[in-house]
Amino acid sequence: MSSLVTFKRGPWLALAALSLCQLMVALDATVINIALPAAQATLHFSTGNRQWLITAYALTFGSLLLLGGRLTDLWGRRNAVLIGLAGFAGASAWGGMATSFSALVTARAIQGAFGALLAPAALALVSVTFEEATERAKAFVIFGAVGASGAAIGLLLGGALTEWYSWRWCLYINLVFAGIAAIGTVAFVPSGNEHHDLKLDVVGTIIGSAGLFFLVYGLSHAESTSWTSSATWMSIMAGVILLGAFIRTQQSVATPLLPLGILLNRTRAGSHIALFVTSIGLFGVSLFLAYYLENIVHYTPLQTGLAFMPLVVAMGVSASVASARLLALVGPRPLIPTGLVLSAMGLVLFTRLPLQPNYSGHVLPGLLVLGLGIGLIFAPAVASATWGVRKSEAGAASAIVNATQNIGGSVGTALLNSLAVAVTAGVLQSIHNPNPRQVGLATLQGYSRAFWVAAGLFFVGAVVTFLMLDSGVPASNEVTLHTKGQG
């Protein structure tokens, strides 16, 4: 009883702790990227193996999200957060002390596994804590902005830590984040939300996790090799077949790993589409702008991270000024499509990047417009994707949100990177012995084509979400449950 009273006095402090959990999971997808060359020099692994330090995290995180979401409902959301924090911190410490490539890859895989428990647990706690429309909107603005900016913050943090200290601190820093988040969770988040009547769908867990594993692996393989590779297509096909079988099994199970009713609501489905499209574009922008700034403009890792900060600031301003005030009044329909159109416009601005450095004229405007757009998308989409779900299914619903973003990021990285490489290669084939300037111009043509495709996806997403999303919001989660049901 005392913990509940304490929680009522400090829900916003609880939100701060949970947002820190989200930040830690989000930034770890990119914080290691800038540290890879330094880690390679220390541990003496091949350039071909560098990709596995990113892929190992993505594979375990993506494939175990549905299981992590259901374990959150089964064990209790606070318990799941604390277990996830402890495991993530332990894996980070092991990775920071790694003396071999195999130890570092294993640590990254374990990070992803515990992240797959931590991310849906933290989101589920936010979704069940803030039920009044205005407070819920503000809470998801904060939580969504933190998650959306995690990739950019990871680039900045990775650059700073690698340049000033050591690549190992890109892993050790998680001990600080996890410690603060654990203290806040124990102090301000109540226990006692376990659902012991739930049973774990073992068959569904195996099939669903295997399907996600093969899908994420196939997309990662496409990025590092090509879409024509047999391993790429076999993995993707295996993933699609297994996920199809998984959905069929979920229709007849008493306690499914994925309650399909969560996806049948139009607004929730539209929110997932928005998150999927936004993740494609955001990961693509992070990838190509980082390449552009480091390889063409020759920024240092720290300068590259700082260059992304206007994106984070613009997202925060857009989310706090627009989403926080308007979401509780007008609902997601006016906000999300507008954000998608703005984001598309920002991507179009990146299609004209020059060889010569001109940050204020060609990079900054795109970052600001894109940030303003994404700030209108993430908070409303995450809030709507978890709105009206039974509390016993909050973990599963939150896992779907994280899985949507994870797969969207994998699709974006693989699809856009493959497209850019193909365009660049096609241009260079027509040039005999290209000089460095010609190679740079060909590379920029590849980036430009990728930005155009990403912009097109955002425009299509704007139309689709405008047709699917509802206007207005219910007064509380309970109203949604009684008036709209689970479908």
pLDDT tens, position by position, 8-34: 457 888 888 999 998 888 888 777 777
Do residues 233 and 347 both lie within one domain? no
Do residues 236 and 380 both lie within one domain? no
- Contact (Cβ atoms closer than 8 angstroms) between residue 199 and residue 251: no
Lowest-pLDDT choice from 31-35, 349-353, 372-376: 31-35
Domain with 243 in it: 201-254
CB within 8 A of 325, min separation 6: which ones?
137
Judge whether residue 420 has pLDDT over 80: yes
The more confidently predicted of residues 270 and 222 is 270
Do residues 156 and 237 both lie within one domain? no
Do residues 386 and 413 both lie within one domain? yes
The predicted structure's pLDDT at residue 325: 73
Assign 487 a pLDDT band (cuts: 50, 70, 90). Answer: very low
Do residues 142 and 191 both lie within one domain? yes
The predicted structure's pLDDT at residue 1: 39
381-409: average pLDDT: 81
Judge whether residue 354 has pLDDT over 70: yes
The more confidently predicted of residues 325 and 309 is 309
Assign 283 a pLDDT band (cuts: 50, 70, 90). Answer: confident
The predicted structure's pLDDT at residue 339: 94
The predicted structure's pLDDT at residue 2: 39
Do residues 152 and 277 both lie within one domain? yes
Q: What's the pTM?
A: 0.82
The predicted structure's pLDDT at residue 478: 40
CB within 8 A of 475, min separation 6: which ones?
132, 133
Do residues 174 and 132 both lie within one domain? yes
Indicate the length of the chain as a whole number: 487
The predicted structure's pLDDT at residue 463: 95
The predicted structure's pLDDT at residue 475: 47
240-267: average pLDDT: 85
Do residues 244 and 270 both lie within one domain? no
Question: Of 254, 270, 288, which residue constitutes the final position of a domain?
Answer: 254
Judge whether residue 5 has pLDDT over 50: no
Which CATH number covers residue 388? 1.20.1250.20
Do residues 186 and 244 both lie within one domain? no
Distance, CA of 123 to CA of 18 (rounded, Å):
8
Do residues 437 and 420 both lie within one domain? yes
395-418: average pLDDT: 81
Q: How many domains does the chain have?
A: 2
The predicted structure's pLDDT at residue 241: 94
The predicted structure's pLDDT at residue 465: 93
pLDDT tens figures, 85-97: 999 999 999 999 9
SS3 track for the chain: CHHHHHHHHCHHHHHHHHHHHHHHHHHCCCCCCCCHHHHHHHHCCCHHHCHHHHHHHHHHHHHCHHHHHHHHHHHCHHHHHHHHHHHHHHHHHHHHCCCCHHHHHHHHHHHHHHHHHHHHHHHHHHHHHCCCHHHHHHHHHHHHHHHHHHHHHHHHHHHHHHHHCCCCHHHHHHHHHHHHHHHHHHHHCCCCCCCCCCCCCHHHHHHHHHHHHHHHHHHHHHHHCCCCCHHHHHHHHHHHHHHHHHHHHHCCCCCCCCCCHHHHCHHHHHHHHHHHHHHHHHHHHHHHHHHHHHHHCCCCHHHHHHHCHHHHHHHHHHHHHHHHHHHHHHCHHHHHHHHHHHHHHHHHHHHHCCCCCCHHHHHHHHHHHHHHHHHHHHHHHHHHHCCCCCHHHHHHHHHHHHHHHHHHHHHHHHHHHHHHHHHHHHHHHCCCCCCHHHHHHHHHHHHHHHHHHHHHHHHHHHHHHHHHCCCCCCCCHHHHHHHHCCC
Distance, CA of 393 to CA of 399 (rounded, Å):
10
Question: Of 191, 224, 254, which residue constitutes the final position of a domain?
Answer: 254
Do residues 240 and 273 both lie within one domain? no
Do residues 262 and 180 both lie within one domain? yes
pLDDT tens figures, 171-185: 999 999 999 999 999
